[in-house]
Structure 1
C-alpha cells in the first residue's frame, strides 16, 4: 500500500505571507482547491519546542499501559487526556484504528461562557515538563493556524481578519498520536480513510511514510513533505462553510511494509475548530448558479462536532 504515486502538493513558505500576502493566499488557496491539502514550511512553530515535544510524547507513550489508562475517562469523549489503542474508528469503517492518542485543548479563563461546551485539560504526572511543553506547542500551533486562516479569508475575498473572532475561544485540539508496532497480519490500518471534522488541520510528522490522500480521480497519493514542514488540510467544517469550494479530502495512514512493522510511528495533528456557538452557514460568495448551496440548513460548530464524535465512536448519541 505504500507503493503509491506521490501527490504533487507544492511546498509553500509562510514567510512569503508577510512579504506578499495576496500571492501567498492565492497559492495556498489554490493548493486547497486542487488537493484539499497544502504543505507549509517556515511556519514559525519553534524547532526546539517541536523537538522537546517529540521526546516527551515518546516518553509518555512508553509508560505502562495501566498508568496511561488512568488518564482515560469515557465521559470526556476522547476530547481530553488519553484515548487507548483500538478505540477510534473511521466513519463507516469495519475495523478500529491501530493507534492511541493524547489530547490537549484550550485553557479557558475561569468563568468563560464557552466552558460549558469544553472540558478542562487532563495532565499526567510524568514525564516532567509535559504540561508546560505541550501548552506552549498548542499556543504555537494556534498562532500559525490563525495566520493560515487569514490567508484563506483573503483567498475567499473576505476581510483578512474574518476568522479572528471565529476561533478566539474555540475547541481546537492538539493530538499526540502513537501508532505502535503491529504484526504482519494485523486487521485494519493505522488510520482508516476519513475526513477531518474541523476547519483546518496542521500536522507535524508526515515525513514518516504512511499518509495518503484520495485524489479527485479516485487514486491514492502519498504525501512526502520536507522534514519539519506542516501538512495542512481542509476539514469538513470549512468545506461546509465554503460550499465545497475548498474540499475536505479523504485521507488515511496505511500500514508500513513488513520490515518496518516493528517500529512505532508518531505524529502531531492540531485540529483548529471554530468557537462552539459559531453558526456554520454557507458563505454567500461561494453560492453561484454553477455551485448552488449544498448546505441550506446551518448548524453550530458544537452540534456538528457532537454529531461527528458519535459517528467515530468517541461519544454516545
Structure 2
C-alpha cells in the first residue's frame, strides 16, 4: 500500500514503550561516531574513511548518526517490530517458523528455546527475520499491513547507509569505491535480511547456570551488521585488551560491526569483533529488550578470499583463513554458520573458549 508520492501509507500500530536508560555506572566501550552528514563532500568522506578504518582494524564497532531516519521513524519501526511478537499467537508463529538447521536460512521465526546457551539452559529470545525482498515469502497476518514500510526501511538502509559504509571501507583499503557495493547487489541472490528480535527476562536459576550470559561471545557471519541502538544495556564487546565492555545507548544511533565475510575479504584487516549479550543491569531486568537489525551479506556466489590487489593489504600484509582454492562462497559460509549456531556440539578449549568446525574452518564461541 503506497500513497501517490510512493511513500508507504501508515497503518495504526500499537506503541512499544522502551525502558529507561540504565543509571548504573557501567564500563562502556569507547567507540567512534561516524556522522553521515559529512559523507557528501570529498573532504568529509576522506575524514570518515580514516575513522572507519581505524575503528574496523582495531575495535571492530562504531556508531553511525544522521543516517536518514528521524527518532519518530525509528520508534515506529520498533512499534512494527513488536507486532511480530505481541500480535501473533503461538500457533501462527509455529506456522512461520524458520528451518535454520535444514535450510541454512534465517527467514521466518526463531522461536524461544531453540539455541542452547550453557548447562542445559536454552535461550529466551524470539526473532522474526525477513529477506530485504519482503515478497519472497508469506508473512504473519498481523504484520502484512506494515510490509510496505518494512520494505522501505530495508531499501533505505541498503542504499543510504550500507552503501556509504561499504564505500568508506573500500576507500580505507585504497580500492575503487564501488568494490564492495558491486558484490552487495540489492536484487542479487543473497540472504541480506531484516531482523526484529526480542529478549525476555530469565529465571534466577537460568542466570546462575549460564553466569548471566544470554548469547555467547561470537562473530557475525556476514559483512556488515546495522543495529539500532536501544536503551536496555546488554550488548558487550570483547575489547582489544581482553576485557568485556558494554555498548552504550545513543538515541537514534546505529551500532555497526563487521563480520566474518569482511574479515575474509580484507585479509583480516577488518576485524569481526567478538560480542555477546548478557543479563541487563539491575534497574532494567524486568523489561523485554527489543532489537532491530539489518544484516548485510555479500552475494551468495562471492568467493570469500582476500582482495589481495589492495595496496593496503600489500603494504601491511594479510592473513587467510584458508587457501583460496578451498575458500567457501558466501552461500556455503552462511548456510554452515546458520545451520550450526546454537545447536551444534561445541568442543571445550581453555579460557572459556568453545569451538566448532564449519566448512573445515574453526569457529570460536566465548563463554
- Shorter-chain TM-score: what band? 0.7 to 0.9
Please name the residue that 1:171 is paired with: 191
Q: Name whichever of 304-313 and 173-182 sits farther off.
A: 304-313
Q: Name whichever of 262-271 and 38-47 sits farther off.
A: 38-47
Query: Distance between the aligned counterparts of 1:242 and 1:49, measured in 2?
Result: 34
Give SS of 2:268's match.
coil
Query: Distance between the aligned counterparts of 1:76 and 1:289, measured in 2?
Result: 39
Task: Evaluate the alpha carbon distance shift between residue 281 and residue 95 of structure 1 in structure 2; reply closer, same or farther with a 3 A threshold.
Answer: farther
Normalised TM-score (structure 2): 0.76
Q: What is the deviation of 1:38? A: 0.9
Which residue, 139, 149, 154 being the options, matches 1:123?
139
Matched, 1:138 2:165: no
Aligned residues: 304
Query: Distance between the aligned counterparts of 1:93 and 1:247, measured in 2?
Result: 30
Q: What is the deviation of 1:258? A: 4.6
Query: Distance between the aligned counterparts of 1:245 and 1:11, measured in 2?
Result: 20
Please name the residue that 1:226 is paired with: 250
- If you compute each CA radius of gyration, which structure gives the higher value, 1 or 2? 2
Please name the residue that 1:70 is paired with: 95
Matched, 1:45 2:69: yes
Give SS of 2:155's match.
helix
Query: Distance between the aligned counterparts of 2:31 and 2:119, measured in 1?
Result: 27
Please name the residue that 1:7 is paired with: 29
Q: Name stretches of at least 5 consecutive residues in structure 2 with no aligned partner.
A: 1-23, 345-357, 359-367
Query: What is the CA RMSD across the aligned residues, in angstroms?
Result: 2.5
CA contact (8 A) 1:282 1:296 kept: no
Normalised TM-score (structure 1): 0.87
Please name the residue that 1:249 is paired with: 273
Give SS of 1:270's match.
strand
Please name the residue that 1:299 is paired with: 328
Q: What is the deviation of 1:93? A: 9.2
Give SS of 2:194's match.
strand
Q: Name stretches of at least 5 consecutive residues in structure 1 with no aligned partner.
A: 110-119
Q: What is the deviation of 1:60? A: 2.3
| Deviation beyond 6 Å, 4+ runs, structure 1 | none
Task: Evaluate the alpha carbon distance shift between residue 54 and residue 156 of structure 1 in structure 2; reply closer, same or farther with a 3 A threshold.
Answer: same
